[in-house]
Chain A
Amino acid sequence: MHALALNFDFLFSNFSQLTVTGLALGAVYAMVALGYTMVYGVLQLINFAHSEVFMYGTFATLWTVYFMGGTAHTSGFALARMFAVAMVVAMVVSALVALLLERVAYRPLLRRNSPQLMALISAIGASFVLSESMGLRDNITRWIGLNDNFSRYVSGARDTRGLPMDIQTHKLFPIGNYQVTNIDLIVICCALLMMLLLDQFVRRSRLGRGIRAVAQDPESAALMGVNSTRVVQLTFLLGGLMAGAAATLYMLRIGATRFDAGFILGVKAFTAAVMGGIGNLRGALVGGLVLGVAENWGSALVGTQWKDVVAFVLLVVILLFRPTGILGESLGKARV
């Protein structure tokens, strides 16, 4: 039996590595968190099926790489091109899943002014349907009667499926005693760029103003000529695009996925959204990065097996002292 010892030596000797990889992980959390936060801002509803939107993005990435003929030897420019295409495909697929979700699981309830609890249950149900459809995809391809040539690619049912190649990392430049890799840099820069674009879209464009108007006062927004159904669709679409891009970045780092890969990542992203202040776009960014870094530091201190515990203890502590999250306020009231 070991007493729980805090391993400060390990934390300090690997500080820069833990921080940089934590930021990369946190950037992925943040991008998924945006989907939770935007839908919450507009509908005051937690879209618990958003984790599956992300999971479909990981498979879209995986299969795109396979369909483009990726092998264990693909590398360099060919690999970069494959991932660029995969990201676009994953964004489209995730956006479509998100829109389908809105159409099937939410809109019929919203139209009838059902209580929020109904939408929550519908979300949880939709989440199971989406993830189990992926987990039972072998049966599904058989039922539809797809030919073996196709189903060979997508089979694997409930196993973890990985990319055909090991992604080669290249050391770029040192921060402290850690050599930052090209993958770290790509993930962090890509995520920040996408979030910057989204932030500017919501702040500056007419449609972005429509989103904020519905979040701040839905009745007034209708009086201004805002079609709230379109706005809700748009938030699901944007959330899906972000989750799809996050999924490709996740695959770039982790390299493998499974039908239930969305669950824990979704819970973490949701945690990040709440921690940053749900409904607040910049809060999702801050929450994601804080969570990613804290998880890495925490698991260095107390052991990797405590990683998830660290994340949720942090959530509870932050909410104890700042119930509205780090940046506080919702999309409704915040000056987004």
Chain B
Amino acid sequence: MLLEVEGLCVNYGHIEAIRDISFSVAEGEITTLIGANGAGKTTTLKTISGLRKVREGRIVFDGKDITNVPPFERVKLGISQSPEGRGIFPGMTVRENLDMGAYARRDRKTAAYREDFDRVYQLFPRLQERVSQTAGTLSGGEQQMLAMGRALMARPRLVLLDEPSMGLAPRLIQQIFSIIAEIKAQGTTVLLVEQNAAQALRRADQAHVLETGEIVRSGTGEELSGDEAVKAAYLGGDV
């Protein structure tokens, strides 16, 4: 297992945001966490990235306990995140944002680095068209692409995607999900948090349903797509 989360509890102030969550992410797969607003999905991702303090439990990445490793060190280990709300740097150009994605890398003068730019531009041709544009002036969809491209520039082993489809037009959502499949095909492990459960389950190898800070159901994407309770709660009764 590339990532193992064991008995994780995280508080947000005095509120328990997540309670005793355990799951794992296998290398080369897409794992998804679905659930309603406030179920603790984003908190889980932020905790894996190190932005939230763990109250109990541990996080193991590639066999190494990273529970107390600071966030900027986790990037070097191979975890990068495209955060909720995109978190792009609005005052920087597209190019500078992508450069920021590679901030922790030591090989920024090599051919491998330039290849990674090409790879991101291949996945998101729009970014190449707008390379000198200030990121704050991009459309929502373009900002989402930039956030994902930036996360890939870290050359991560595991990329965490927080609600990549949020606020996007349906056509664009399709595009984003096929890009996620492409990221997996290129060998990067994906942990995907989504409210768009139908799409997420279709692409996911493994899936977990979060409700008020706890995992209430787990299975393959296919299994959960067919699960009556999941259908009723998250898929509008009909996939």
Q: A216-B89, A216-B91 are in contact. Are A209 and B50 (CB under 8 A)?
A: no
Bitwise, A197-219 to B at CB < 8 A (1) or not (0) is 00000000010011011001101
Q: How far is the CA of A221 from the CA of B104 in the complex (A)?
A: 11
Q: How far is the CA of A226 from the CA of B101 in the complex (A)?
A: 10
B90 and A226 within 8 A (CB): no
Q: CB of B189 within 8 A of chain A? A: no
A223 and B71 within 8 A (CB): yes
Chain B residues within 8 Å of A221, by CB: 100
Stretch at the interface among B17-25, B73-81, B223-231: B73-81
Number of interface residues, chain B, beta carbon within 8 A: 29
Q: A222-B50, A222-B72 are in contact. Are A212 and B154 (CB under 8 A)?
A: no
A210 and B91 within 8 A (CB): no
Q: How far is the CA of A224 from the CA of B71 in the complex (A)?
A: 9
Q: A224-B100, A225-B72, A225-B75 are in contact. Are A332 and B81 (CB under 8 A)?
A: no
Q: CB of B196 within 8 A of chain A? A: no
A209 and B96 within 8 A (CB): yes
Q: A209-B96, A219-B83, A335-B134 are in contact. Are A224 and B103 (CB under 8 A)?
A: yes
Chain B residues within 8 Å of A223, by CB: 49, 51, 71, 75, 80-81, 83, 87, 151
Q: CB of B136 within 8 A of chain A? A: yes
Q: How far is the CA of A227 from the CA of B103 in the complex (A)?
A: 10
Query: Chain B's nearest CB lies how many Å from the CB of A91?
Result: 27
Chain B residues within 8 Å of A216, by CB: 89-92
Q: How far is the CA of A223 from the CA of B75 in the complex (A)?
A: 7
Q: Select which of B51, B91, B101, B134 is within 8 A of A224 by beta carbon.
A: B101
B83 and A212 within 8 A (CB): no
Chain B CB within 10 Å, residue with most, of A216, A221, A223, A336: A223
Interface SS of chain A: helix, strand, loop or mixed?
Answer: helix
Bitwise, A217-247 to B at CB < 8 A (1) or not (0) is 1011111111110000000000000000000
Q: How far is the CA of A220 from the CA of B101 in the complex (A)?
A: 10
Q: Select which of A227, A332, A334 is within 8 A of B70 by beta carbon.
A: A227
Query: Chain A's nearest CB lies how many Å from the CB of B49?
Result: 6
Q: How far is the CA of A225 from the CA of B96 in the complex (A)?
A: 15
Q: How far is the CA of A222 from the CA of B71 in the complex (A)?
A: 6
Query: Chain B's nearest CB lies how many Å from the CB of A236?
Result: 19
Q: CB of B99 within 8 A of chain A? A: yes
Nearest CB in chain B to that of A222: its residue? B71
Q: How far is the CA of A221 from the CA of B51 in the complex (A)?
A: 11
Chain A residues within 8 Å of B101, by CB: 224
Nearest CB in chain B to that of A225: its residue? B104
Q: Select which of A220, A225, A226, A333 is within 8 A of B91 by beta carbon.
A: A333
Q: CB of B88 within 8 A of chain A? A: yes
- List 29 A-B pairs, Cβ < 8 Å: A206-B108, A212-B92, A213-B100, A216-B90, A217-B90, A219-B87, A220-B83, A220-B87, A220-B88, A222-B49, A223-B51, A223-B71, A223-B75, A223-B83, A223-B87, A224-B100, A224-B103, A224-B104, A224-B154, A225-B76, A225-B103, A225-B154, A226-B72, A226-B103, A227-B72, A332-B91, A333-B91, A335-B91, A336-B91
With A219-B83, A332-B91 already in contact, 4 other A-B pairs whose C-beta atoms are closer than 8 Å: A209-B99, A216-B89, A224-B100, A224-B150
